[in-house]
Structure 1
């Protein structure tokens, strides 16, 4: 397995990872919603699901399968439809929650479930959102080869780079979730929660529509 000294582009790679992690998108929208409404514990499974999905895409890219998806019109279209559907479904669900709470004029004392079922739901949401993102296939194919030295094995080196990305993003996302969760009591006030559900639902639907109409 290649060591750190075998990959001279580590500094540029880590800077790129930080910029990617900080960019707005489906992962960020999902994470912020879970952390604001459910607290830190509810956000952890979502982060783990997102990062597992990222690592799977990285390995598929190294194996050449992500390249096939990116090059195939049919495969890219199917993944685009699935990804758009998942984001729109999550957005509509949030909008329905906002509508119900607005009509009721109050919010239940509970938050987003932090039970085992709620944790698995958050993990599944993160994993599916990442795996159903067609842009991830295109991105992975273009991103990792830039940092793999010509004399290093592609698959093994990509796996190491992806593991570093997963570790760094996990720390960054969990830190962000912890910061958001500290204001959890404010976010879970009835009016604020209704507003947040509506905004996050609108953002997720908008991202889904963008995925549906965007090209490569």
Structure 2
């Protein structure tokens, strides 16, 4: 059986690290939960994103993402579900920002504290699972670093990518939690929700019209 060289492993690790360091939807969700809900919610969102990556990575190693891409109907179903979920998340964030604009300090604290860690975990996982770009990343990148006849080695590469995400996003959660006192001021919180809503709705609309 062909062996995977150290150079291939290092090369993939560099690309994976650069990929997770590039600001994207996962980064935004993790930071938002860390800022508004503290370190616990930030870590919960991070773990949700990680579970999503593990599912996509396992599916890529098993060849399921190739089947998904080959099936036009399955691809369209995932695309539409992803767009709908992003629009729902964006609409929820926008509604919360408008509600805070009308509410007092006490209600603001209740609204900020209401989402649970499970909600943050679920948001991170579902957003990642419904993001077809994650599947495309694995499907297009893994074969370039795997020797022929050794697909099981893909598990190592998936683990490397997940580890990079845990380290980088975990560091962002720590920084956001440290700066939470400043970032949770009423005006900052409202604008954070509005910026998040704008990005989520924009991504949802973009994903919805991609296949039309």
TM-score, reference length from structure 2? 0.91
Work out whether residues 34 and 112 of structure 1, in 8 Å CA contact, stay in contact via their aligned partners in 2. no
Q: Does 1:212 align with 2:211?
A: no
- Per-residue deviation, residues 53-101 of structure 1 (Å, max 9, x unmatched): 1111111111111101112111111101111111111111010000000
Work out whether residues 97 and 197 of structure 1, in 8 Å CA contact, stay in contact via their aligned partners in 2. yes
Q: Does 1:79 align with 2:75?
A: no
Q: Unaligned regions of 5+ residues in structure 2, if any? A: none
TM-score, reference length from structure 1? 0.89
- 1:14 alignment counterpart: 13
Cα distance in 2, alignment partners of residues 52 and 92 from structure 1: 25
Cα distance in 1, alignment partners of residues 137 and 76 from structure 2: 16
- 1:35 alignment counterpart: 34
The structure-2 alpha-carbon separation of the partners of 1:212 and 1:82, relative to structure 1 and needing over 3 Å to count, comes to same
Q: Does 1:109 align with 2:120?
A: no
Shift of 1:105: 5.1
Cα distance in 1, alignment partners of residues 22 and 195 from structure 2: 18
Which residue, out of 125, 128, 132, partners 1:127? 125
Give the alignment's Cα RMSD to 1 decimal: 2.0
Q: Does 1:26 align with 2:25?
A: yes
Work out whether residues 36 and 188 of structure 1, in 8 Å CA contact, stay in contact via their aligned partners in 2. yes
- Per-residue deviation, residues 89-130 of structure 1 (Å, max 9, x unmatched): 11110100000001125453357448xx71111111111001
- Per-residue deviation, residues 141-165 of structure 1 (Å, max 9, x unmatched): 10111111225x20x2111110111
Moved more, 130-139 or 198-207: 130-139
- Per-residue deviation, residues 18-58 of structure 1 (Å, max 9, x unmatched): 11102232212211211121122110011111011111111
Q: Does 1:64 align with 2:60?
A: no
- 1:186 alignment counterpart: 182
Q: Does 1:200 align with 2:196?
A: yes
